[in-house]
Amino acid sequence: MEKYNHKKIEKKWQKIWEDNQVVNIDKDNTKKKFYMLDMFPYPSGDGLHMGHTESYTASDVFTRFKTMQGFNVLHPQGFDAFGLPAENYAIKTGIAPEISTAKNIDNYIKQMKLLGLRYDFDEKVVTYEPEYYKWTQWLFIKFFENDLVYKKTSKINWCESCQTGIANEQVVGGECERCGTQIVQKEIPSWFFKITEFADDLINDLDIVDWPEHTKKNQKNWIGKSEGAKIVFKVQSPKSKVEKEIEVFTTRPDTLFGATYMVLAPEHQLVQDLKEKVENWEEVEKYIKEAQSKTEMDRIEAKDKTGVKLEGIFATNPANKEEIPIFIADYVLSGYGTGAIMAVPAHDERDFEFATKFGLDIREVISGGDIKEESYSGDGVLVNSTQFDGMTSEEAKQKITEFVEGESTSNYRLRDWSMSRQRYWGCPIPIVYSPEGEAKLIPEEHLPWLLPTDVDFIPSGKSPLEKSKELRERTEKIFGKGWTPEFDTMDTFVDSSWYFLRYPDVHNEREFCSEDRKKWLPVDLYIGGAEHTYMHLLFSRFFVKAMNKIGLLDFNEPFLKLRHQGMILDGEGKKMSKSKGNVVNPNEMVERFGADSVRTYILFATPLEDEVMWNEDNIVGVYRFLEKVFYQREKLEETTSQEVQNVLHKTIRKVGNDINGLKYNTAVSEMMKFMKVVKTSQISQKDFEKFLRILSPFTPHITEEIWNSLGHDSSIHLEKWPAYDEKLAKDDLYTVAVQINGKVRAEIEVRDEDSEKEVKDKVLSDLRVQKWLDGQEVKKSIYIKNKIFNIVI
RNA sequence: GCCUGGGUGGUGGAAUUGGUAUACACGCAACACUUAAAAUGUUGUCCGUUAUGCGGAUGCGGGUUCGACUCCCGCCCCAGGCACCA
């Protein structure tokens, strides 16, 4: 008996498949299309990790399944190759990002092939290649021409010592991760995409996609639409009359009579405008400085409310004309609403905390709980609100807004997308500046606008591109003396916001995708990590909506169906990371157990969307199962027993349904059960081959080997998915649990065609049941066909 | 802090979505084969008990129901995300 040698088998078939281009995707044929997509990886130096292994195996299985079912499946792969890690690596080692990245990509491809993942790497998208980013730039130009791009200043985390912008991730406890210097907020000019213009569509169109409910919820919360009103408060100082106005957004205009003070964000422009009138300016300025050193996260997280009163000025509550104090406090964020609030301590938790600390008036205007202990933030009936007393919140919201001449409006948490970065390793922004400093688009004929190579990577407080002589010369040569290029590059999220639109036509030099190839769009099933719930998915949706508006696409949503794979954790439930030294290398596992076992195990271990606690011990169960399958080919009989026949058809049905629902863990266990039955019974070659076919998407190598050894010349992966026979999959007898008052007291066998009356007679004649009834009257009985018979006494 | 998800044997998990809780797999134990070990096979394995029975158990406490892992209310704990990591 030949031993199951996974190394030999996998090496052999991987070579044969590659040489013979088994199942190459035909982009022009007439079969029904199915676009299966993985979130493309960032090619890090660490190589492919277990999370990739899980989601790419999941999509590979689905691709093979759909192909067997007769679909023409597009399942491409690519690399999100611009980004910070390669640049940091370059800063550290001097090795250019394109060199380290290309090396990493080669490594990823090698690893993917070892896992038996079926991608056509001639059709890959690599975001740093000019043939790709040419179209990223082209899309920027189209967005610019259609008024979806603008420039304004925005704040970034800044490290004075490193002289560079710092990602939130690199800020640890308010300090720079690298050098420990206190991070400050710095205003710099930045390009923005107008994603907020699509806020309502981004919420509403979630109704038309098949996504996990929690992902939809998260997106809605991220966009954060709230209905309310804009209300204007007049600002005065005792010495002068009306000077300024503060506009606030509130979702609770019904509580306006309870507004006993106002708060401005420390960065609010009005604070600077009032400089002359504020009597304690020194103290105010000091607070603003402190607030600037904090990241937004620090401010949100702060347990203790802080703030400073603007002495010498006050605002007038437009509802009751009372004079109320104005504070600056960092619990009010400049980026949300108008950056100013009316504070109603009786009915807002944060305002209540602040008012308690600063001894401010707390005035109940909505009757509710006891506001001495805590605020009441629910709706209710108005009190202490003059002519509005007795109204419901609902009614008063509109009436009070009208009364103070406010404007009913919606506010969104979503901010426009700041997409420029002071980094080297990103897509150049196709903008040049005239000698007068006016931003102009680079004409399409000059695309791709190449990323220069004559730069060094040491941070100096300016964008690395400023150091490129070639870029400056190129700009002057084309546009004239005194013209300068844009030195910022694009956020890497821009690259990944449209890559899926390129796959159907990656080599097209005239268009990002031809009209004919656009028939492949949109993506039918998208699989990737839940960490992308917000940004990547939202940005991609924005791109598609914007392109639809411009007329470049005729659909509204990029990903019709979306599923997430869970995180892979180590045995202690910790996230795997290189720094913790707990990373499991997929290739080492493949070496030891084979790609077929690794693929099957990772899908068997847990539902796709759940976290996986990596436990190496369990993989041997899968390996043993594959051995059983391998040796079964030597035990094939002329005929198949009735028992196996029945289980086979049930298994085909269940595995097909489970793959469709991405419930791979139960699909695998079903196939294991099947082999258990086969072992004690008999199966013919013809029926065993049906089983091999349903197993083949999971374990492409071993099934190909067995298939081949059973006398087939062509690949098992060109076979059709077997049909099952509903009659053969049907059971004759069912075990029904007999319950008395909900407790199982007996079991009886029934036939499918038995009526409820027949079952009841059988139940009541059962000795065990009679013992429990003990002559008592049956008040009620409930029969769930073929499952439960419950007697209530 | 805010948003979202989760908690079932020693372990990963299953449960037809309100209908026999613990499928499948790992581990463990006993037995078989072996000089022995490995491998393989068979059997057993939620807990308690006065064991063919009965009682209890799906993070904790309550509720709805003939019946709750599943639905509702209140807690506890864990994970992910929070806009310049991708």
Condensed to tens digits (0 to 9), the pLDDT of residues A247-293 reads: 999 999 999 999 999 999 988 888 888 888 888 999 999 998 888 77
In this prediction, residue A88 carries a pLDDT of 85
pLDDT at A183: 78
Q: What is the mean pLDDT of residues A228-254?
A: 85
DSSP state of A580: G
pLDDT for the residue numbered A242: 58
Query: pLDDT by residue (tens digit) across A725-743?
Result: 988 988 888 888 888 888 8
Residues 494-513 of A, Cβ under 7 A from nucleic strand B: 496
CA distance A35 to A525: 7
Percent of chain A with pLDDT over 90: 56
Interatomic separation, CA of residue A351 and C1' of nucleotide B22, rounded (Å): 50
Residue found under tokens 């004239």: A480
Residues A33-69: pLDDT tens digits? Answer: 999 999 999 998 888 888 889 999 999 999 999 999 9
Q: How many helices (H) and strands (E) does chain A have?
A: 24, 32
What pLDDT score was predicted for residue A627?
95
Find, among A486, A382, A394, A471, the residue nearest to A432 by Cα.
Answer: A486
Q: What is the pLDDT of residue A301?
A: 66
Q: From the Cβ of A55, is strand B under 7 Å away?
A: no
Q: What is the pLDDT of residue A305?
A: 82
Asked if the Cβ of residue A32 lies within 7 A of any atom of strand B, the reply is no
Please, what is the end-to-end C-alpha distance for chain A in angstroms?
A: 62
Please check whether strand B approaches the CB of A532 to within 7 Å: yes
Judged against a pLDDT cut of 90, whether residue A451 lies above it is answered with: yes
A607 touches strand B (CB under 7 A): yes
Total count of residues recorded for chain A: 793
- Whether the Cβ atoms of residue A725 and residue A653 lie closer than 8 Å to each other: no
Least confident window among A35-39, A363-367, A665-669: A363-367
B44 C1' to A617 CA distance, Å: 21
Nearest nt (C1') to A350 (CA)? B1
Q: What is the mean pLDDT of chain A?
A: 89
Residue A334's φ and ψ, nearest 5 degrees, are: -70, -25
pLDDT of residue A104: 94
Beta bridge partners of A381: A367, A392
Instruction: Note if the pTM is more than 0.90.
Output: yes
Q: Can you give the distance from the CA of residue A58 to the C1' of nucleotide B81 in angstroms?
A: 23
**Both tokens of residue A106?**
């080669």
pLDDT at residue A756 is higher than 90: no
Task: Please report the DSSP string for A492-517 in residue order.
Answer: HHHHTTTGGGTGGGTT-SSSSS-TTG
Tens of pLDDT, residue by residue over A524-582, are 999 998 878 788 999 999 999 999 999 999 999 999 999 988 877 666 556 666 556 66
pLDDT at A471: 96
Q: How confident is the model at residue A459 (pLDDT cuts 50, 70, 90)?
A: confident
Indicate if the pLDDT at residue A167 is higher than 80: no
What is the structure's pLDDT at A724? 93
> Using 50, 70 and 90 to split pLDDT, how confident is the model at A595?
very high
Given a cut of 90, is residue A751 above it in pLDDT? no
Kindly determine whether the C-beta of residue A780 is less than 7 Å away from any atom of nucleic acid strand B.
yes
Comparing every residue's Cα with the C1' atom of nucleotide B14, the nearest one is A666
Mean pLDDT along residues A99-111: 95
Average pLDDT over residues A497-522: 95
> What pLDDT was estimated at residue A240?
66
ipTM exceeds 0.85: yes
Contact present, A43 and A108 (Cβ < 8 Å): yes
Local confidence band at A793 (pLDDT 50, 70, 90 cut-offs): confident
The yes-or-no verdict on residue A367 having pLDDT over 80 is yes
**A222 pLDDT above the threshold of 90:** no
| pLDDT value at residue A579 | 57
- Residue A542 sits at φ, ψ, to 5 deg, of -60, -45
Using a 7 Å cut-off to protein CB atoms, list the covered nucleotides of chain B: 1, 3-5, 11-16, 19-21, 23-27, 40-42, 54-55, 66-68, 78-86
Tell me which residues from 701 to 730 on chain A have a beta carbon below 7 angstroms from nucleic acid strand B. none
pLDDT for the residue numbered A22:
65
Q: Give Rg (Cα) of chain A.
A: 33
Q: Is the CB of A655 less than 7 A from some atom of nucleic acid strand B?
A: no
**Is any atom of nucleic acid chain B found less than 7 Å from the CB of residue A654?**
no
Nearest CA among A734, A738, A748, A746 for reference residue A790: A738
Nucleotide with C1' nearest the A488 CA: B84
Kindly determine whether the C-beta of residue A413 is less than 7 Å away from any atom of nucleic acid strand B. Answer: yes
Q: Is the CB of A286 under 7 A from strand B?
A: no
Q: Which residue is nearest to nucleotide B26 (CA to C1')?
A: A618
Q: How high is the pLDDT of residue A701?
A: 97
DSSP A550-566: HTS-S-S-SEEEEEEEP
Q: What is the average pLDDT across A71-88? A: 92
Helices (H), A146-255: 199-204, 213-223
Contact between the CB of A80 and strand B at under 7 Å: yes
Nearest CA to the C1' of B13 belongs to which residue? A606
